[in-house]
Chains A and B, each alone.
Chain A
Amino acid sequence: MKKKFLPYLLVSPYLLFLTVFVLFPVLFCFFLTFHKWNIIAPMHFIGTDNYTRLIHDRLFRKAIGNTLKFLLLHIPLQLVVSLFLAQLLNQKIGAISFFRASFFMPVIVSGVVVTILWQQLFAYDTGMFNRVLTTFGISKVGWLVSPNIAIYSIAVMATWKNVGLYVILFLVGLQTVPTQYYEAAKLEGATPWQQFYHITLPMINPTIFLVVVLSTIGGFSLFIEPYIMTGGGPLNQTLSAVLYMYKQAFQFYNMGYSATLGFFYALMIMTVVLLQKKFIEKEE
């Protein structure tokens, strides 16, 4: 008797967790999308009002647009820089652990630290970037204050923070490519660029896919960077998806609407990742 229940006893922590923190929240999130609720007063059933509101919500579209702009710079930059650095590390070089460790430092440090640090680098009058620019006689750039630039500044910072992890992933990927492939290609007279395009790229396709997916999820999860640096400004140009959810829930106490936002963001992330799977991931 005891033997039969034992496995269930052992998996019970997960089942409890699954029920309380996964299944219930997903169902309750869906339920909340039909309600207006400020947590204190009783819940109001409002039918599909939240959905109508979402369709006409300028800020919802803005947050999505900002996320897309962020990804438009973040993903290519991330891929190019991490692949480049991984290629460099893949040569036979000394002090490899020093280089790896220095690229990796921002990955493990809290996003709060990185954001406070870059806020200083980006500062208009005193920031390091603008001071370097002015010494070269170039006029200052409003890294965080200019509405057209701010989100891209954040994208650069996010790349700096994460790229070390992807360098390592690419390095692992590069090391799985059999060296015979390159030797054979060299005998055939392939240039280094041809080797890279026809051998390396297809072999590390799974890593590219992984980096794209992780960066996409990261873009939709962006929160602390705009929260500390810009508060979503200027002119809501750095309002991120999660920051907008946070504001709706904890500044305006619209739990129902915030849940609706979260529900849609989640659907959007899963759709985008599936699309990326279809278009990037190649069958072997």
Chain B
Amino acid sequence: MRLKIPILRLLLYGCLLVAAISFIYPFLWMIGAAFAPSHELAKMRIWPAHPTWSNFASMIQKIPIGRSLVNSLLVATATTLLVMATGSMVGYALARMRFRGRQLIFYIIVFTMSLPFQITLIPNYITMVHLHLVDSFSALIIPFAVSAFAILMFRQAFQGLPQALIDAARLDGCNELEIIFRILWPNIKPVLVTVAILSFIGSWNEVLWPLIVIRNEQLMTMPQLVTLFAVGGRADSQLGVKIAAAVLLALPVMIAFLFFQKHFIQSMASTGLKD
């Protein structure tokens, strides 16, 4: 459907550009505002006339933001690795092995996937209390260590691989775990990337659950710490400091997105298309 008339094309690009600016400009303003001294914040310009690090400096003084960055990285990495390990094990069994209950488990996974989290939220918190996991990284990792979505992705990926690959590996004396992680994984790289991106981003951006199970400031993830900082009085209604915290929270994901844009979009889109 190529538009032939130049005016229409101009209009098309005009619309797209306006849309793009409306999505990007707020972020640019935010980054500029983080460097703006307080008297300049009220201006709408993108980059302040007298940029300063003072917002960041006073934030670092007030909250353990560096610590929370490390916490977030640790939690998201551990969650992602576990999701990939458990997802491939279960997905492999469902795709390539025959055993009683295989179909049943598959249907249970599909069915429970659409269970609203509202019903499990309070009981899961109580489980954490009883397992003495409140205020520990385990509370942030274990409940997310298995993902129904990842299992289904791996199941589908493993189904598409030739049996000869598995047979040959078995002849070489590989056990099932070696087959999964050493022989099959290199053949399903796109799926690995998708699952990794989704679980990492999911874990990185999760904020309700940390708010519930973590009280100790030293263990808080970045979104939680920034949230409590923004809501509580400690930002002293200093806008610049609050925005600086938001910028620091956004930056890692934004940088990753700039580099792996295509993978991000494909991965996120696949969550919607897998129905």
Contacts and interface: CB of A to CB of B under 8 A. Distances in A.
Tell me if A's interface is mostly helix, strand, loop or mixed. helix
Interface string A219-251: 011011001100100000000011001100110
Contacts of B122: 29, 32, 245, 249, 255, 258-259, 262
A160 B88 CA distance: 35
Residue among B2, B123, B145 with most chain A CB within 10 A: B123
A220 B90 contact: no
Contacts of A32: 122-123
B208 A223 contact: yes
B196 interface: no
A156 B228 CA distance: 24
A13 B118 CA distance: 23
Interface stretch (A50-58, A72-80, A140-148, A264-272): A264-272
Interface string B182-203: 0000000000000000000100
A228 B93 contact: no
Contacts of A255: 122, 126
A266 B118 contact: yes
Nearest to B92: A10
Contacts of B227: 112, 224, 227-228
Interface residues of A, number: 90
Contacts of A113: 30, 226, 246-247, 249-250
Contacts, number: 244
A10 B125 contact: no
Interface string B239-275: 1001101110110011001000110110011001101
Contacts of A220: 116, 118
A275 interface: no
A128 B29 contact: yes
Residue among B2, B16, B33, B275 with most chain A CB within 10 A: B16
B77 interface: no
B176 interface: yes
B115 interface: yes
Given A14-B109, A22-B112, A91-B2, A116 B246 contact: yes
Contact of B89 (A13, A160, A165, A223): A13
Interface in A148-189: 160, 164-165, 168-169, 172, 179, 182
B161 interface: no
A65 interface: no
Contact of B121 (A11, A104, A164, A245): A245
Contacts of B93: 7, 10-11
B5 interface: no
B66 interface: no
Contact of B268 (A17, A165, A210): A165
B262 A97 contact: yes
A100 interface: yes
A231 to B, nearest CB: 8
Interface in A75-108: 85, 88-93, 97-108
A39 B126 contact: yes
Nearest to A106: B23
B13 interface: yes
A191 interface: no
A110 interface: yes
A220 B121 CA distance: 14
Residue among B13, B97, B117, B254 with most chain A CB within 10 A: B117
Contact of B1 (A14, A91, A121): A91
A194 interface: no
B72 to A, nearest CB: 10
A98 to B, nearest CB: 7
Interface string B209-227: 0011000000000010011
Nearest to B262: A97
A105 B23 contact: yes
A28 interface: yes
Given A18-B108, A110-B250, A164-B23, A131 B118 contact: no
Contacts of B69: none
Contacts of B118: 220-221, 241-242, 245, 261-263, 265-266, 269
Given A7-B102, A85-B19, A108-B201, 19 more contacts: A21-B120, A22-B112, A22-B115, A28-B126, A39-B129, A90-B1, A91-B2, A102-B24, A106-B23, A112-B230, A128-B29, A168-B265, A210-B272, A220-B116, A224-B208, A241-B118, A245-B122, A262-B121, A266-B119
21 contacts: A10-B89, A10-B92, A20-B127, A21-B124, A21-B127, A25-B119, A32-B122, A39-B126, A88-B19, A92-B1, A97-B261, A101-B261, A102-B24, A103-B20, A105-B257, A110-B250, A112-B230, A228-B227, A228-B231, A245-B122, A259-B123
